[in-house]
């Protein structure tokens, strides 16, 4: 009889924990792509360096996004933020791009 009660308690505990989903530490949850939402703002110094040294101008929004998507220097969240904040247009310099993403 004790084994049945112990087994029942264990089963109830397991089912109760399963109802709350997997337990993941906060630090691990913060790094998952699903939690990046609209994206993480990239390091502006790194973005500025990329725009000045690796981008040719004039450049359209599509060209800027394509160049950014090819980079491994930026995370998926940073790329998403950049895409969400870069308006349509033709940009003549890195300064114009930085000004445009800073407005939104």
**What pLDDT does 29 receive?**
47
32 pLDDT band, cuts 50/70/90, is very low
**What pLDDT does 58 receive?**
97
Q: By the 8 A CB rule, do 71 and 47 touch?
A: no
The token pair at 38 is: 């609209």
12 pLDDT band, cuts 50/70/90, is low
Q: Which of 51, 53, 42 is nearest to 96 (CA)?
A: 51
3-class SS at 80?
helix
Average pLDDT over residues 8-26: 51
């Amino acid at each position: 009889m004790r084994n049945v009660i112990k087994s029942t308690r264990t089963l109830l505990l397991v089912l109760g924990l399963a109802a709350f989903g997997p337990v993941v530490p906060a630090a691990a949850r913060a790094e998952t792509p699903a939690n990046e939402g609209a994206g993480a703002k990239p390091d502006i110094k790194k973005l500025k360096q990329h725009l000045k040294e690796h981008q040719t101008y004039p450049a359209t929004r599509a060209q800027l996004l394509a160049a950014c998507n090819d980079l491994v220097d930026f995370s998926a969240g940073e790329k998403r933020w950049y895409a969400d904040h870069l308006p349509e247009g033709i940009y003549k310099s890195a300064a114009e791009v930085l000004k445009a993403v800073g407005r939104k």
